[in-house]
Structure 1
Amino acid sequence: MIRGWPLLLFLGSCSGQPAFAPGGIVSNNPCIDAILAEIAAPHQIAAVSVYSHESASASAPVGWARQFPALGTAAEDIIAAKPRLVLTGNLASAGTNAALAKAGLDVVTVGVAPTLEEDIAQVRHIARAIGRIDAGEALVTRIKQSVSTPPAMPHRPTAIIWQNGGFVAGEGTLQDELLRRHGFRNASSSFGLKSWGILPLETLIRNPPEVIFMPVNADGTEERAMSARVQLINNLRNKTRIVHFPDRLLYCGGPTTITVSAKLAKAREDILATQKKGAP
């Protein structure tokens, strides 16, 4: 990240980065950016998180994010931006948030939502903070519709979301709740995992669940670094269903919940179709 807002402004004018407008809303959190992309008016936003300018780390549409200057989590950069409101999350340290408060800035902080209820509450909190309550409620309605009760399956398949590096979303996470709401049984507990944990490939191969939601790059291609693992996991295709699931879908809630729900619903529909074909 470029340190110091004057330098950022200079480089922005040379590189085509949009100019900074003081007195607006700034966000240094990519999950908050994703919500702003859905509910904020463009003229409200002065800057977004630097993570949202890169497809590998963005949860908001990159084309939308690049309309605005990018900020990191350093307090001095945020203070130099002279915003009227700072939206920040768990990527910013307590020291950063304390420095922002000492500078007299209005700061709204949200963490990682472990449940759908808290995820919706965060959307509403941000919507109130930026004066866009109706737009926030419209997003909440779409989130609720995306997780409405699905048709019952004769059998609830076991599943895990297996992130790059072997990370698995366990009980007490938003991803766990979404799995359950879409008719799956999270198999993480059978491996002795709680909340987020690491599941070694060898352990996964010995006792695979019925469905593995597996990461791919933001452009939809398989991780090159994971090619050996992918080849090994492909050996399980006769035992388990492999469903592509980009890592970025694990970063945030908000509108990402809608995308995750669509992925899970499609997988459920495919399984139901297979079950019906196999029915006597």
Structure 2
Amino acid sequence: MKRVWPILLLLGGCSGQPGIAPGGIVSNNPCIDAILAEIAAPGQVAAVSVYSHDADSASAPLAWARQYPALGTGAEDILAAKPRLVLTGNLASTGTNAALAKAGIKVVAVGVAATLDEDVAQVRQIAKAIGRVEAGEALVARMLESLDSAQSQVPQGEAPSAIIWQNGGFVAGTGTLQDELLRRHGFHNASASFGLQSWGVLPLESLIRNPPQFIFMPVAPEGNADRELASRQKLLKHLEGKTRIVPFRDQLLFCGGPTVIKVARIFEKARRTAR
């Protein structure tokens, strides 16, 4: 299934695959998987989120994630894996996480980061939980370096307007990590001009009537045709000359962590084209 940020991050339950080594570290959150792919030591991870096995929803590299069994979000799946540590999202705390705590299994839960500071803190929290503090700091340093480098090259002058327009018309507004990343790269998030706060849905017609200077728009993964996306791209063609449409993988909006580095490269390149 496809993910829509941030609603589906921690929902759904899928049966875990057999073969999960007991006593290991398991994750049922695709954003945590992306961090583990960068900082975990060989042999530390026993299972990853089922979403990380799907090209449409994975934030961690597929080749890395598919080395491990896939785990659903239900308490039964996780209890059957007999882990010593569960890394999960805090939105599951009212059900699954409570059941795990009752069973005496250590749980580390993180939420959806709304700022870069929160994102960095979560990387450090996960690194500490798995005993990989040094590797976590190395990842944090790379994240901050990518942003510092981009900010130092932001051209002078009025910030061009921009919007991140996801599948389904979802738009990242103020109070989101994506909004902060836009601002750090010298863009003005145009979501407020459409009356949107935080995450909201922006109809295509509204976007066409009042287009910003930049539209960061998702592209379908290779080999996965998306009729809705293709039709929207065709409708947006008449905006050429009025706005720049920048291809942007939907997966880059699901998580922070190492994804921030990839986002920085795209925003930096686009900002250099602004006049």
TM-score (norm 2): 0.91
Match of 2:139 in 1: 139
1-side partners of 2:226 and 2:119: how far apart? 29
Corresponding position of 2:68: 68
- Secondary structure of 1:235's counterpart equals helix
CA distance in 1, matches of 2:225, 2:164: 15
Shift of 1:244: 0.4
Q: Compare CA radii of gyration and give the structure with the larger one.
A: 1
- The correspondence of residues 48-197 of structure 1 with structure 2, limited to 5 A, is 48-90=48-90, 92=92, 94-148=94-148, 149-153=151-155, 154-197=157-200
Q: Give 1:174 deviation, angstroms.
A: 0.2
Q: Deviations over 1:153-210 (max 9, x none)?
A: 2331100000000000000000000000001000000111000001111010110000
Take 2:223 and 2:144, find their aligned partners in 1: how far apart are those partners? 27
Count how many residue pairs are aligned between Structure 1 and Structure 2.
260
Aligned to 1:22, what secondary structure does the other structure show? coil
CA contact (8 A) 1:160 1:187 kept: yes
> 23-32 or 211-220: which moved more?
211-220
Work out whether residues 24 and 46 of structure 1, in 8 Å CA contact, stay in contact via their aligned partners in 2. Answer: yes
How many Å separate the matches in 1 of 2:93 and 2:117? 25
Aligned equivalent of 1:250, options 228, 231, 253: 253
The answer for the alignment partner of 2:4 in structure 1 is none
Q: Quickly say closer, same or farther: Cα 1:220–1:119, change in 2 above 3 A.
A: farther
> Is contact 2:154-2:271 (8 Å) kept?
no
Q: What is the distance in 1 between the residues matched to 2:241 and 2:38?
A: 40
Q: Which residue of 1 is the match for residue 9 of structure 2?
A: none
* Secondary structure in structure 2 of the residue aligned to 1:125: helix
Q: CA deviation at 1:229?
A: 1.4
Secondary structure of 1:92's match?
Answer: helix
1:13 is matched with none
- TM-superposed deviation, 1:90: 4.5
1:210 maps onto 2:208 in alignment: no
- Cα separation, partners in 2 of 1:255 and 1:198, compared to 1, 3 Å: same
Structure 1 residue runs without a partner (length 5+) = 10-18, 276-280
User: Conserved in 2, the CA contact under 8 Å of 1:150 and 1:183?
Assistant: no
Q: What letter corresponds to residue 207 of structure 2 in structure 1? A: L
Identity %: 68
1:251, distance to aligned residue in structure 2 (A) = 0.4
Q: Which residue of 2 aligns with 1:45?
A: 45
Instruction: Tell me by how many angstroms 1:45 deviates.
Output: 0.6
CA contact under 8 A between 1:35 and 1:255: conserved in structure 2?
A: yes
* Counterparts of residues 229-268 of structure 1 (less than 5 Å): 229-268=232-271
Of the two structures, which has the highest relative contact order with CA contacts closer than 8 Å and spacing of 6 or more?
A: 2
Render the CA deviation track for 1:201-232: whole Å, top value 9, x for unaligned: 10101100000000112339773222221111
User: How far did residue 150 of structure 1 move?
Assistant: 3.0
Q: Secondary structure at the match of 1:38?
A: helix
Looking at structure 2, the residues matched to 192 and 53 of structure 1 have their Cα atoms a distance apart, in angstroms, of: 36
- Give the residue type in structure 2 aligned to 1:126: I
Does the 8 Å CA contact 1:127/1:133 hold for their aligned counterparts? yes
Residue 93 of structure 1, CA deviation: 5.2
Task: Tell me how far 1:20 sits from its aligned partner.
Answer: 2.0
Corresponding residue for residue 6 of structure 2? none
| 1:90–1:163 distance in 2 versus 1, CA, 3 Å | farther
Normalization by structure 1: what TM-score? 0.89
- C-alpha separation in 1, matches of 2:143 and 2:125: 15
Structure 1 window deviating more from structure 2 (32-41 vs 84-93): it is 84-93
Give the conservation status (yes or no) of the 8 Å contact 1:215–1:222: no
The structural deviation recorded for 1:94 is 1.7
Aligned AA for 1:269? R
> For structure 2, which runs of at least 5 residues remain unmatched after alignment?
1-12
Contact 2:85 2:107 in 1 (8 A): yes
User: 1:137/1:72 Cα in 2 relative to 1: closer, same or farther (>3 Å)?
Assistant: same
